[in-house]
Amino acid sequence: MITQALAQAVLAAALETGGDFSELYLEDTESNNLSMMGGTVENAAYSRLHGAGVRVLKGTRYAYAYSADTSEAALLATARAAAAAIAGDERYTPKTFAVNDCRKAPVIAASDVNNAQRVNWLREASKAAKDHSPEITQTIAALADVDQRVLICNSEGVFAYDRRPRVRIVVQAVASDGTQAQTGRRSPGRGCGYELFDTVDPSQLGQQAARSAVTMLHAVDCPAGVFPVVIDGGFGGVIFHEACGHSLEATSVSRGNSVFCGKLGQQIAAPCVTAIDDGIMPGEWGTIGVDDEGTPSRRRVLIENGILKSYMVDILGGRRMGMEPTGSSRRQNYTFAPTSRMTNTFIAPGKDDAEEMIRTMGDGLFAASMGGGSVNPLTGEFNFAVDEGYWVKDGKIFCPVRGATLIGKGHEVLHNIDRVGPEMWMAPGMCGSASGSVPTNVGQPRIRVSSIIVGGKGGAL
């Protein structure tokens, strides 16, 4: 991407006005997106993103500039544009580089797969969804691949390469009885190439999406009140991600905008809860070799047996907090300055029997699949939709329910978890924050929350 000599020159130019740290981020990303509606291709697009960003820090102040032109002249001009916003008396010289090459090629690269094969996968999924039931009135399918190649250099001697391929397929089915409609969705993805389809069956995804849509079409409205709730694994982890994970990022903590500020070493969850952010899990959606500041990615125990052990810290957040970076800095692309973000974040497996959770809960809700929601990182207050839910009566699944929402505060829910199952699985998603949208995994085993507010339009069942 660039010679070490030019990188040194760019970093030195960024320090000319008195900054104490400079960073150069170069990116070359290719992506393919294909979408289909009702079995017909709607869109097929290829894109390439190429550019560089330069950041200069002085204490806890920073300036960022970027350019789509990566010629020597443009890189030096970008560095000086960032430096112009920083003033200081001292002059720093970039350290000698130590190279860290984390690039790993996909087994089956996007260039090895043509659009005809992509269309076949989407048609398989769409047909299986449509054939599942005459009540399926619409199918939507999409396939996306990204091959992101980055180089991060900084004045502390970092010179790190990374390659981050990923592939994801999304299948959505709509069921209708003529007066109302419900949607089912499946969307697996991994940090790999098209070897994804060695383990993902498009037809099975279509069937699952359709089954969910038809089930919810015939569901009754969920009762409202305070109940025990069992939340299944995979995308159920979105509650921890949104309501608690963001509050453990330095983006919030370093500015005092988190309910978990100053609580390291304190009990913030039930003893059965251990939560982890792991950026080095092989082939996972949120996995990275190095973060977007060039710090090696790692496994971070955030909460251990209910005790807060760690925050997720980037360089700037670490300066504000007096802490070392944890390999948690990420950005959407070169047009964004980096900040602390999650990678593969999950509640670790426990030892509780998954069926016993339901058998001993009395009346309540089983959330088989979670939807979207909103959260306030400062207070931890959240509101999440349940995409597929079932009412539990006397410890037995009674009927499907729709329109359920879970309402509460993240730090309170952590204390109310009283069961954690032994099998953890994850689901991919895109997480938005100050540094743009980045791929993150959410996950957990099946868990039980002993008491939480359930919103719904229904009455007693």
Instruction: State yes or no: pLDDT of 243 exceeds 90.
Output: no
Which pLDDT score is estimated for 19? Answer: 95
Instruction: State yes or no: pLDDT of 381 exceeds 90.
Output: no
SS3 label, residue 134: coil
> Which residues are bridge partners to 122 per DSSP?
none
Instruction: State yes or no: pLDDT of 62 exceeds 90.
Output: yes
Instruction: State yes or no: pLDDT of 352 exceeds 90.
Output: yes
- Alpha carbon separation from 291 to 159, 202, 326, 443 (Å, rounded): 12, 32, 9, 21
Q: Mean of the per-residue pLDDT values for the chain?
A: 95
Distance CA 171, CA 149 (A): 28
Distance CA 419, CA 449 (A): 7
Q: What pTM was computed for the model?
A: 0.94
Confidence class of residue 380 from pLDDT cuts 50, 70 and 90? confident
Is pLDDT larger for residue 120 or for residue 371?
Answer: 120
Instruction: For the beta carbon of residue 144, count every other beta carbon within 10 angstroms.
Output: 18
Q: Nearest to residue 216, comparing CAs of 63, 388, 362? A: 388
Instruction: State yes or no: pLDDT of 292 exceeds 90.
Output: yes
For 255-261, what is the mean pLDDT?
Answer: 91
Instruction: State yes or no: pLDDT of 158 exceeds 80.
Output: yes
Encoded tokens for 455: 């919103």
Distance CA 53, CA 65 (A): 6
Which pLDDT score is estimated for 91? Answer: 86
Query: At residue 382, what are phi and psi to the nearest 5 degrees?
Result: -140, 165
Confidence class of residue 410 from pLDDT cuts 50, 70 and 90? confident
Kindly report which listed range (69-73, 107-111, 335-339, 377-381) carries the lowest average pLDDT score. 377-381
* Percent over 70 (pLDDT), the chain: 100
> Which residues are bridge partners to 189 per DSSP?
168
Q: Nearest to residue 268, comparing CAs of 214, 207, 314, 309? A: 309
Instruction: State yes or no: pLDDT of 144 exceeds 90.
Output: yes
Greatest distance between any 2 Cα atoms in the chain: 74
Domains and CATH numbers, the chain: 4-217 (3.30.2290.10), 220-455 (no CATH)
Encoded tokens for 23: 């960073």
Distance CA 372, CA 133 (A): 26
SS3 label, residue 426: strand
